[in-house]
Amino acid sequence: MKLKKVMKWISRVVTFTLFVTLVFMIFVVISSKASGGEPQIMGYQLKTVLSGSMEPGIKTGSIIAVKPDGEMTAFEKGDVITFMEESDKLVTHRIVDVIKSGENVMYQTKGDNNDGPDPNPVLSENVVAEYTGFTIPYIGYFINYAQSKTGSALLLVLPGLLLLGYAGITIWQAMSQIDNKSKKEETVEILNET
């Protein structure tokens, strides 16, 4: 009896895990495609950290939440910002100095793990978001893979196939139990008749 209860519990956990994985992957892929890059949750963007320049606070392979809207000229020394360094490269570093020239604002930035400040100041127009302090280590590798064509296809199809396969096994087991119960009842009836 206890074994059956344990097996039912394991079956429910596996089903739930596969379902949650499928739903999460659908969310990541659709959110990434809709936003044109990183997934978004309630106005916050999730960015993948691919370098160790901000360690130990932000580990390589982490995902971080950044707030893209706001006044990009109002940051202060010590704030962590995400900015466009080149046409397609985002960097998240800490502000070590604010340089104001009339209406123009520039930020001198530095990675916490780097020896010196970044060579070029960042124009406020190039700042795309502010780091919120939220980070999840190592999930960024997974998100980065999920955003690739191969990863999104595999990570959408695989949990779905596993869920279907597991459902098939569960149905087959239920059918086997019904067959066994029917055979036992027939055997009992035959024995009772004799």
Catalytic residues: 51
State the distance between the two ends of the chain, measured CA to CA, in whole angstroms. 32
CA 70, distance to chain mean position in Å, is 24
SS3 22: helix
Residue bearing tokens 């604002």: 105
Residue bearing tokens 């044109």: 36
Pairing of strands 122-123, 44-48: unpaired
Q: For residues 47 and 38, what is the distance between their CA atoms, to the nearest angstrom?
A: 6
Residue bearing tokens 């985002």: 90
Residue 52 backbone phi and psi in degrees, to 5? -100, 20
* Residues sharing a CB contact under 8 Å with residue 128, sequence separation 6 or more, in sequence order: 66, 68, 82, 83, 84, 90
